[in-house]
Structure formats: C-alpha cells, structure tokens
A = this chain, B = another copy of it.
C-alpha cells in the first residue's frame, strides 16, 4: 500500500521536475497531484525514496530531484507509453513524404525528430553491411582508366577511379562488367564481396584472372568493406541546446564536444540497434563521463530495425515518454519509406 504510493510519489516528482525544472517540495506535490494525504506523509515517503537512492536534494531544505536511478525506475516501470499524437504523426508524414533520395530522407528525419522532441537529434546513415548490391558499373574513361560505380539498395552510390597497367579492349570490358554483375548484383554486401573475391581466386583452377580483373575486383571489395562510410551521422537541432543556456558548462559544452566526435555518437547509437525497442541510456550509465548529465534515447530502423540507428541526446531531465514515442514514430516511418523505395 505505502509501496504503491511511494512509486506514485516518484512518478509525480519526475513529472513535475521535468515540467518545472525546479526541485519539487512536498507541499507543491500534494497540491498539483491529488494524492489524498498530507504533506508530512509525502515527506516521509520522500525521505525513504532518498534513502533508496531514487531522489536527491540539491541542498538541505530544498525540494527533491530525481537521481539517474530514479529516472531509470520511472522509465522502466512507471511511465505509460504515450501514444504519438495525430498531429505528430501528421508532422512526420508531411515532412518525410517529400523526400526524393536517401540523403534527403536522412536530413528530413533528423529535422523532424529534432522538432518533435526539441532536443538534439542524430540519425545514422544506413549501414553498408545491411545493403544489397543493386548494380556495378564499369566505365572506361580512357583505355587504361576505369571508373567503378557501385550502387546499393539503400540508395547509396560509391565510386572509385583506377588506372590499369595496360589498355583494356572494349570487349574485355563488357565481359568483365557482366561477370562482376553476375557475381555481385542482388547480394548482400558481405556475400557480394566474397563472390567477387572468388572470381580472382578460383578454387577450381581455371585460367588465371587478368590483371584488370584483379584490379577491379580488389577495388570493389575495398569499397564494400570501407566501414568508414558506415560511420556517417547527421546531427540536427543543436539550436535546441539554447533552451538550457544555464548549465552551459555541465550540459551544453560536453554535448557539443560529443557531437563533433562522430565516433562517440556512433557508439551511443550503436547500443540501441540491438533489440527492436527504444533504448534509453540515462546519465552516467554509459562509459562517457562527460555525458553524465545527458541521456540518449535511440532505436534502430530499417528492416528488422537493424539497418542503422537514430535517436536524440538531451538532458537527463527530459520528457521520456514523449521522447520515446517520437523516436519510435520517426524510426517506424523511416523504415517504411526506405522499404517502399
């Protein structure tokens, strides 16, 4: 019985603190939420919650503030999933439906996510490793100079320029082109790379591959395993940082620094790709000390939610239910769009 009320108190404190940005005291609490008990009772509960580590006092004789542990409990057990509002769904739809290509989808997503959550939004580009090869084109710019164009299902295009030691006849080029496409087209990146490699290392000892073939295949395999381009992320909504101009040094500065470090961002997002659900990292739960006062709400998108991740970064004091709903909604819509195209 008291246990139930305690949780209700914790929930109320989280909600009030998120809304007001100020430590919440016992009296204000009984007024705003109609708990049918006296402030003194609440005080006892608050003291207990503080003992258990869910609350903290900025200083003696101020109200209580949730700790990371408090937020965690709130997110895990107390928050009711806020359904995305019709207005939000409409915003997402009208924003994303106008997108013309992959770049555009990613950029629009980051914008709409930043707008909905009023936080800094981060969207990772679809990773190479989950794409399939749509087509490989080999163009002779000059007799000994080839342009390789690798077109992937996610809409991404990679190009490489190579010089050959000797000229390549048009007929040979055509043959090479069709062999390469036969091996790679339609396959997942990893398989395509393997199939291509097999072309120049034939188990069944056929004719030795030509120098041009080796060169082309090497370059393509290299482009396919170039994980550098996996590391691309787009950031948006940094203007939202302006909302919490105080706490500059504790909140904004480390966040800005982290945003510059794409590697960190990718790690943060990466954790989220695992399950299908929306992941929440609160405060110091992660390994990044500088981000102790920020939370990350992220999820995967694309088929099986495994193509790449998107999410937001914000202060631990944030509207978790709303943010989680927005992140999930954008991810779903994005998956759908990518699936259609």
B253 touches A238 (CB 8 A): no
Q: What are 19 A-B contacts with C-beta separation under 8 Å?
A: A100-B228, A104-B228, A139-B151, A147-B151, A149-B157, A157-B159, A236-B260, A237-B260, A238-B238, A238-B260, A239-B253, A239-B256, A239-B257, A241-B256, A242-B248, A242-B249, A242-B253, A242-B256, A248-B248
List chain B residues, Cβ under 8 A from A103: 229, 232
A260 CB contacts on chain B under 8 angstroms: 236-239
Given A103-B232, A245-B252; 10 other pairs, CB 8 A cutoff: A135-B139, A137-B139, A139-B151, A149-B149, A238-B238, A239-B260, A242-B248, A242-B253, A242-B257, A245-B249
CA gap between A147 and B256 in the complex, in Å: 40
- CB of A163 closer than 8 Å to a CB of B: no
Once A135-B141, A139-B137, A245-B249 are accepted as A-B contacts, the answer to whether A101 and B159 lie under 8 Å apart by CB is yes
Q: A69 in the interface, Cβ–Cβ < 8 Å?
A: no
Instruction: Classify chain A: how many residues form its interface, as a range.
Output: 35 or more
Shortest CB distance A129–B (Å): 18
Asked whether any CB of chain B lies closer than 8 Å to the CB of A134, the reply is: yes
What residues on B are CB-neighbors of A229 within 8 Å? 103
Contacts of A237 in B (CB 8 A): 260
* Residue A259 at the chain B interface, CB threshold 8 Å: yes
The interface bits of chain A over 30-54 (1 if a CB of B lies within 8 angstroms of the residue's CB, else 0) are 0000000000000000000000000
Kindly list the 8 A-B residue pairs having the minimum CB-CB distance in the complex, ordered from nearest.
A242-B253, A239-B256, A245-B248, A239-B257, A239-B260, A157-B157, A137-B137, A238-B256
CB distance from A122 to the nearest CB of B (A): 13
